[in-house]
A and B are shown apart, each in its own frame.
Chain A
């Protein structure tokens, strides 16, 4: 891992990193480093180089190094991206900061607890009217088969890695932190679309709210930055159609909630 850092004659890049140590700093500030890099050095590796070789006090989150754990989201030159999926070769100079729209815990570590709480709020799990269907204490007695068509209704929306990058991109979330936001609304829609699920009526009140799909003005930047091509803006807009139908049904007392 360190070997590529030691390649002689490799070029170096000026990397500015936003620092914020709550016990020392009144406000975030920028610290500059010169980082050697090669063709395959990722932004995450650049940060690791800084921590290993230049300033061990730098804090940032990471785990998988392969765009699947969702923990290395940063603002890279003002654009929210995964550090492990961005490469120095694509930049002339770098400015790395914690994800926008979240409080900063320390340095590049954004406090995403509000985001995680929103993901929980939408009940992102299969629900059945008969709870014995999901009873894990007895051996599974039947399969809930799904056709490829049924799978295709939600497959794309189930690729989310909960990185929060779409929240850093969303101007509505930036203005109103109560907005459930792209990933949580996509997740709710994903379970509503799953033929095995029967919990739609529990999730519709969330989608139907101003803090739900109606808080979105279809800016679409979330879909542009999503590293997994989930297209949350599409899920939210399909959710708007579902919510409008729910509204009409409720109006003529045929369903929906209060």
Chain B
């Protein structure tokens, strides 16, 4: 620490990190979780379960109709995909902070690869509806 320069004949080189990619997805997910998710939680968790809205509002036909429309598909994709990256990023860095690390980049591949695979799966499902 004190001898960062001892034995260092040239200045330290700094390389661009590729973290902005996952950080941007993490940020987008944060926006979704902050702005859209509360409405979902309040609707499903409170309004529906307390019987404040008619159960027919979420009948199979209505939900499938919603998920079949192009804007319904967009909404669900925006709701789910950035959130997956947000959660993966937070857990990944949380594990780092708790000194949990896998061999090499195993954990990074697991979390970011996992959310990528799940995202593709979500798109595939949405594509197949309707």
* A residues neighboring B (CB under 8 Å): 101-103, 111, 113-114, 117, 121, 171, 177-178, 205-206, 208-212, 214, 217-219, 240, 243-244, 247-248, 250, 257-258
User: B13-37 toward A: CB 8 Å interface, digit per residue (1/0)?
Assistant: 0111111110110010000000000
Nearest CB of chain A from residue B126's CB, rounded to whole Å: 27
Offer 12 A-B interface pairs, CB within 8 angstroms, sorted by A: A103-B2, A113-B2, A114-B1, A114-B4, A178-B4, A205-B16, A210-B19, A214-B19, A219-B97, A240-B23, A250-B16, A258-B16
User: B62-75 toward A: CB 8 Å interface, digit per residue (1/0)?
Assistant: 00000000000000
The residues of A that contact B3 with a CB separation of less than 8 Å are 114
Q: Are A210 and B93 in contact (CB under 8 A)?
A: no
> Which 8 pairs from chain A and chain B are nearest by CB?
A247-B20, A209-B14, A214-B19, A244-B20, A214-B17, A111-B2, A177-B1, A217-B93
Q: Are A244 and B15 in contact (CB under 8 A)?
A: no
* B residues neighboring A (CB under 8 Å): 1-5, 12, 14-21, 23-24, 27, 93, 96-97
The residues of A that contact B18 with a CB separation of less than 8 Å are 247
Nearest CB of chain A from residue B38's CB, rounded to whole Å: 22
The residues of A that contact B21 with a CB separation of less than 8 Å are 247
The residues of A that contact B5 with a CB separation of less than 8 Å are 117
Which single residue of chain A is at the shortest CB-CB distance from B97?
A217
- Besides A114-B2, A244-B27, 6 more A-B contacts (Cβ < 8 Å) are A101-B1, A102-B1, A121-B12, A208-B16, A219-B97, A258-B16
Which single residue of chain A is at the shortest CB-CB distance from B3?
A114
The residues of A that contact B23 with a CB separation of less than 8 Å are 214, 240, 244
Q: Are B17 and A208 in contact (CB under 8 A)?
A: yes
Q: Are A103 and B1 in contact (CB under 8 A)?
A: yes
Known: A217-B93, A243-B20. A208 touches B14 (CB 8 A): yes
The residues of A that contact B27 with a CB separation of less than 8 Å are 244
Q: Are B93 and A111 in contact (CB under 8 A)?
A: no
Please, how many angstroms separate the alpha-carbon atoms of A250 and B21 in the complex? Answer: 13
The residues of A that contact B15 with a CB separation of less than 8 Å are 209-210
Please, how many angstroms separate the alpha-carbon atoms of A217 and B23 in the complex? Answer: 11
Which single residue of chain B is at the shortest CB-CB distance from A175?
B99
Please, how many angstroms separate the alpha-carbon atoms of A210 and B14 in the complex? Answer: 8
The residues of B that contact A243 with a CB separation of less than 8 Å are 20
The residues of A that contact B14 with a CB separation of less than 8 Å are 205-206, 208-209, 211-212
Which single residue of chain A is at the shortest CB-CB distance from B96?
A217
Which single residue of chain B is at the shortest CB-CB distance from A105?
B2
Q: Are A209 and B17 in contact (CB under 8 A)?
A: yes
The residues of B that contact A103 with a CB separation of less than 8 Å are 1-2
The residues of B that contact A209 with a CB separation of less than 8 Å are 14-17
The residues of A that contact B12 with a CB separation of less than 8 Å are 121, 178
Nearest CB of chain A from residue B6's CB, rounded to whole Å: 10
Which single residue of chain B is at the shortest CB-CB distance from A205?
B14
Please, how many angstroms separate the alpha-carbon atoms of A227 and B124 in the complex? Answer: 53
Which single residue of chain B is at the shortest CB-CB distance from A218?
B93
